[in-house]
Amino acid sequence: MIALPSAGGAGSGLVEPVAMPDLGWTLWTVAPTGAASRQAALVAAATGLTGLALAFALAAASQKRQRLRAEQAMRLSLERRVAERTHDLSEANTRLRTEIAERERATTALRATQAELIHAGRLAALGQISTAINHEINQPLAALRTFLASTALFLERGDEATVRRNLQRMTEVTQRIAEIIRHLKDFARKTGPEHREPVRLASAAEAALDLLRVRLRAEDVTVDCRIPPDAMVRAEPVRLEQVILNLMVNALDAMRDAPERRLDLCAARATSDEPAPSWRLDVADSGSGIAPEHMAQIFDPFFTTKPAGEGLGLGLSLSSLIVRDLGGSLTAGNGARGAVLTLVLPAAES
């Protein structure tokens, strides 16, 4: 079989001989191959495209498997990091709760210690004025004995008017003794949980003055108390009296060697600089004032300018601590004559 070009060059064909023995001929036939070639080309092209598509599909499947493996690895890594972070946060939270509990215990212990220290300071103040208080009670008792003796004589004489007048005076004396004892008991008692209530500044100052009355007379101190009756603050009564007493004692100590002894207590509404309505109480003395080098230390614990043995330097420090607990402030400065200690406390409704 021989491939020859077809006639006219229109295509190609296969030449195949056919023997004809009866005639003694050999017949050559030409079979065209164009259609078969085209079909074969189409089959080859289809096969190639199929193979190419299969290759793309296999490549896509491989990339998908790789992407899935990468995503799975990333997810596992993220889960491990999340688990580690969760564990760290859990441990940190546990440590934080432990620290908070420890700080709460420390705060409770500190508050208890502060309360004990404040109570000790109150008893120390009473100890310092105990002699004066003893004298303050003994005077009414002596007067009471005198009234009793004279009343018996006037009763024998039948002077009923004088007897009634003496009985009235004895009643006043016993009331005075009862008032002093009440002040002592209230001031010395150990306060429980903090309880704030409306307190009249004038009443607290008068109670503190009662405890210092004998010393004021003995040292010839002139007291000028100008506290409006409507001056009401929110505080704990006994602690407020302790603060005012400490401020007065500090003023009396500062005037010990002064030629003129004058104690001024003046209350007024605080200025608008305060964040809330407040009352301001100035306790001023006629001493030598506060030295500039001591101004920054005036409220430090155990700081004192008094001679050794005349105080521990805790009065103003405890007063500052109490005032802060009551939501107020305590500052020191110098006035026209001497030192001025300024107490500011939140106002209360009358």
Lowest average pLDDT, out of 1-10, 33-42, 69-78, goes to 1-10
Q: Whats the size of the chain, residue-wise?
A: 350
Is residue 271, in this structure, part of any structural domain at all? yes
Is residue 274, in this structure, part of any structural domain at all? yes
Q: 10 Å Cβ neighbour count for 319? A: 24
The mean pLDDT value for 34-60 works out to 82
Is pLDDT above 60 for 277? yes
pLDDT at 1: 46
Q: Does the pTM of the predicted model rise above 0.75? A: no
Is residue 324, in this structure, part of any structural domain at all? yes
Is residue 90, in this structure, part of any structural domain at all? no
Lowest average pLDDT, out of 128-132, 162-166, 173-177, 262-266, goes to 128-132
How many angstroms separate the CA atoms of 255 and 283, rounded? Answer: 13
The 10s digit of each residue's pLDDT in 184-205 is 666 556 555 567 788 899 988 9
Is pLDDT above 70 for 135? no
Is residue 122, in this structure, part of any structural domain at all? no
pLDDT at 8: 46
Question: Domain containing 337: what range?
Answer: 196-350
CB-based burial label for 327 (10 Å; 0-12, 13-18, 19+) = middle
- CATH number of the domain where residue 277 is located: 3.30.565.10
Residue 95 CA: distances (Å) to CA of 47, 79, 84, 90 = 71, 24, 16, 9
How many angstroms separate the CA atoms of 339 and 350, rounded? Answer: 31
Is residue 19, in this structure, part of any structural domain at all? yes
User: What is the count of structural domains for the chain?
Assistant: 2
pLDDT at 288: 83
Is residue 170, in this structure, part of any structural domain at all? no
Lowest average pLDDT, out of 27-31, 163-167, 299-303, goes to 299-303
The pLDDT mean for the chain works out to 78
Amino acid, res. 282: D
Is residue 280, in this structure, part of any structural domain at all? yes
pLDDT at 99: 87
The mean pLDDT value for 34-39 works out to 74
pLDDT at 265: 93
The 10s digit of each residue's pLDDT in 74-90 is 888 888 888 888 888 88
